[in-house]
């Protein structure tokens, strides 16, 4: 079994993407209002400092993009170039031009057959449709047929964000919870058993809400029939540790997640290097039953990504 340390939640910001979406969008995603910088050299320096052998690159959530199919194809090609240039250091979760399902299906074929990507990043909602929505059935059918890894990342909710805190602080974990719930309640977790879904940030608030969710589903006969065993459906998710390195979060996660489905993640560069260092020291010292850091740091991801 691989002893590599693999970061499954690492973003990249190629210049072509930054130029297309604008710095204002990136600033808005940060609690401090300062856009993160990114370069391959900075990513490798962060990885070397923290003993990370490989980072799986993905484009983080952003706005609706004009001619998304063209831009995201260029981003996916760029990630492939980075994988080739820095062999063994980077993998790739490719981007799809959703909500256009037909264009997304074309990109799935290209990315799997030509680029040999590790999987795909999907955002929690597109135009207010969460991933359990019927709109995504043709895409999920194909991802299931291809036995694909899907990294689920939060994005802006389809409603006004209360002024309590920036969206990334509270709404992003809630968005992950919403889309995971939509996948469970739609029956997608039992229907698409060949899709390996990774939930960002320890599943948002999902682990804490599992008892409430299971009770609610049991009170809705048609939903309960689709879902089957709610706890089993939730245990079929993978979860990453990005921005969640702490005993309270991991203890809650360990109650609902299978030990071999917890993955290491940093959220670089949206998580600054000092935060990654601090979270790393917490993870190194963590003592939570059901959380085996040897598995979390690399073995689980190596198995999932066939390293």
Summarised one tens digit per residue, pLDDT across range 115-149 is 999 999 999 999 999 999 999 999 999 999 999 99
Average pLDDT over residues 59-85: 90
Give the range of the structural domain holding residue 31, as residue numbers without chain letter. 6-304
In a domain, 189, yes or no: yes
Whether 10 is covered by a domain: the verdict is: yes
Residue-level pLDDT at 238 = 98
Tens digit of each residue's pLDDT (9 = 90 or more) over 11-26 = 999 999 988 887 777 7
CA angle, 139 as apex, 137 and 100 as ends, to 5°? 100
Residue 305, pLDDT > 60, answer: yes
Q: What is the DSSP letter of 272?
A: -
62 pLDDT exceeds 80? Answer: no
CA atoms within 13 A on the CB side of 306: 8
Residues 37-42: contacts with CB within 8 Å, 24+ apart? 37/13, 37/269, 38/11, 38/12, 38/13, 38/269, 40/12, 40/82, 40/85, 40/86, 40/90, 42/269
20 lies in some domain: yes
184 with 233: CB under 8 angstroms?
A: yes
Give the C-alpha separation, 194 to 196, whole Å.
6
Residue 192 forms part of a structural domain: yes
**77 phi and psi, to 5 degrees?**
-65, -40
Q: How many domains does the chain have?
A: 1
Q: How far is CA 126 from CA 98, 255, 257, in A?
A: 7, 30, 27
Is residue 2 pLDDT above 70, yes or no? Answer: no
**Residue 60 pLDDT > 90:** no
Q: C-alpha angle with apex 74: 70 to 76, nearest 5 degrees?
A: 115
185-240 residue pLDDT tens:
999 999 999 999 999 999 999 999 999 999 999 999 999 999 999 999 999 999 99
pLDDT tier for residue 29 given thresholds of 50, 70 and 90: low
CATH number of the CATH domain containing 67: 3.20.20.140
Does residue 1 belong to any structural domain of this protein?
A: no
Cα distance between residue 278 and residue 254, in whole Å: 21
pLDDT value of residue 63: 66
Indicate the pTM of the whole model.
0.95
Tell me the Ramachandran region of residue 51: left when phi exceeds 0, alpha when psi lies from -120 to 50, beta otherwise.
left
Specify whether the CB–CB gap between 185 and 217 falls below 8 A.
yes
Distance CA 191, CA 46 (A): 39
For residue 1, pLDDT beyond 70: no
Residue with the bigger pLDDT between 24 and 266: it is 266
Q: Report yes or no on 232 lying in a domain.
A: yes
Q: pLDDT tens-digit profile of 93-114?
A: 999 999 999 999 999 999 999 9
In a domain, 62, yes or no: yes
């Amino acid at each position: 079994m691989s002893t590599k340390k693999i970061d499954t939640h690492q973003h990249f910001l190629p210049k072509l993407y930054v130029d297309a979406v604008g710095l204002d969008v990136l600033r808005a995603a940060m609690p401090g209002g300062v856009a993160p910088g990114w370069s391959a050299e900075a990513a490798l320096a962060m990885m070397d400092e923290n003993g990370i052998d490989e980072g799986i690159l993905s484009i983080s959530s952003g706005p609706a993009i004009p001619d998304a199919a063209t831009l995201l194809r260029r981003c996916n090609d760029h990630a492939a170039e980075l994988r080739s240039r820095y062999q063994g250091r980077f993998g790739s979760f490719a981007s799809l031009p959703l909500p256009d399902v037909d264009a997304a299906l074309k990109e799935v074929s290209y990315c799997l057959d030509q680029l040999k990507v590790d999987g795909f990043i999907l955002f929690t909602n597109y135009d207010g449709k969460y991933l359990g929505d019927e709109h995504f059935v043709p895409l999920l059918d194909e991802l299931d047929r291809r036995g694909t890894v899907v990294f689920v990342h939060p994005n802006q909710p389809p409603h006004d964000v209360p002024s309590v805190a920036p969206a990334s602080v509270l709404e992003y974990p809630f968005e992950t919870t919403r889309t995971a719930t939509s996948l469970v309640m739609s029956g997608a977790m039992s229907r698409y058993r060949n899709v390996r879904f990774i939930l960002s940030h320890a599943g948002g608030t999902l682990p804490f809400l599992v008892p409430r969710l299971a009770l609610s589903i049991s009170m809705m006969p048609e939903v309960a029939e689709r879902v089957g065993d709610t706890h089993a459906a939730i245990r079929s998710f993978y979860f990453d540790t990005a921005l969640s390195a702490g005993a309270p979060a991991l203890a809650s996660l360990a109650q609902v997640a299978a030990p071999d489905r917890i993955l290491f993640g940093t959220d670089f560069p949206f998580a600054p290097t000092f935060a990654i260092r601090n979270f790393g020291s917490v993870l190194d010292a963590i003592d939570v039953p059901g959380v085996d850091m040897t598995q979390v740091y690399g073995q689980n991801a190596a198995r999932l990504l066939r390293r």
